[in-house]
Chains A and B, each alone.
Chain A
Amino acid sequence: MAKLPTSNERDALAAFLDRQRDALIRKARGVSDSDARRAPTVSSLSLLGLLKHSAVWEARWFQGVVAGRPLADGWPERESSTPDEDFLVDDGDTVEQWVARYEAEAETSRQIVAAVQLDDPCVRTDIIDCNVRCVLLHMIEETARHAGHADLIRETLDGSRGS
């Protein structure tokens, strides 16, 4: 595992978030698209649903909230009428596609974070009144919790486990 940068708090938090993203992606790798779409536990969550949800919210938090950029799906001004649509996957969704999308959104997030300071307020204070540090910490804990969901879904699918 790569050493976490300790030179400054921002880079350390960004690296922590990278580790959580990687953990989630590792849980989906090597799983067939069909298995990744399954919700094998009593929960309605699937590995592919978790990836899709994480990619969608990665963009919403960093591009939308932190940087104030308009998003392709129109969030937050345009709300989906389907509850939890970001978790919903169908036969058009593949692991390869959503890993690639998640990694691309994460790269955009890294560029956004590298250009700001942790104490800087988010551009969209009308959505949430917080600073960049708060968003990074939120994404770290949120992604870690979803990686926990992925742990048990993957273990149920094929018995594989580990970080």
Chain B
Amino acid sequence: MNDLKEPKAALRHYLQSGREALLWKLDGLGERELRMPRTPTGTNLIGIVKHMANCEIWYFGDTFGREWPTPGERITDEDEVDPQADWYATEHETCDGIIDLYRRVWTFADATIEALPLDAVGRVQWWRDREPTLQRIMVHVIVDLMRHVGHADILCEQIDGRVGLQAQTSNLPEHHDWPAYVAKLTALAERF
């Protein structure tokens, strides 16, 4: 944990563990399962990854004057005719391709984080604070990412019952009878 005492290392740790938790959630699921919309607003697992890839390209690239090397791979203004364009995989994309894109975006984003001090100023036109620091951008992306990982937690549990915090530690009590626990909560709720 010594690394975590250094401000940038701590931010990088939380960013990276969120990224890995998200991809771990998708592990072993097929093209159809990853694409299937699972809430009334169409939230789907591969869409979360595509959204986060585009977020990181924007926040760690454009915000600090760095261009993503292969513009055809990202959501552009032309795609914005479909406001949900970054939230699902098109017919011509594959889930593996989007996951690969996300991993390459990590390397791209990490280069920005490595090169700049935390108080480096970027530019986000639509923010009230138009000149946020790299530190602020990192916290913003971590928050956005973790909230979406929270969505993925529930969606994955719906698909195959898989739960847990991250690959290394589930953070859940072992050998607990979850069906019995859910039955207990249901019975409790139904008394009202």
Interface residues of A (CB under 8 A from B): 1, 3-4, 6, 9, 12-13, 16, 19-20, 23, 33-34, 37-39, 41-46, 83-84, 88-91, 118-119, 128-131, 133-134, 137-138, 140-142, 144-153, 155-156, 159, 161
B7 touches A44 (CB 8 A): no
Smallest CB separation, A3 vs chain B (Å): 6
Given contacts A6-B136, A137-B139, 5 further A-B contacts (CB under 8 A): A16-B139, A16-B143, A23-B147, A83-B172, A148-B147
A-B contact count (CB 8 A): 144
Report the nearest B residue to A12, measured CB to CB. Answer: B136
Smallest CB separation, B144 vs chain A (Å): 8
- Residues in B whose Cβ lies below 8 Å from that of A148: 146-154
Closest 5 CB pairs of A and B: A148-B150, A83-B173, A34-B192, A144-B146, A148-B147
Smallest CB separation, A133 vs chain B (Å): 6
| Bound CA–CA A68/B109 (angstroms) | 37
A91 touches B188 (CB 8 A): yes
How many residues of B are in contact with the other chain, CB < 8 A?
49
For residue B161, CB closer than 8 A to chain A, the reply is yes
Q: In chain B, residues 55-90, which have Cβ atoms closer than 8 Å to a Cβ of chain A?
A: none
| Bound CA–CA A39/B182 (angstroms) | 8
- Residues in A whose Cβ lies below 8 Å from that of B182: 39, 44
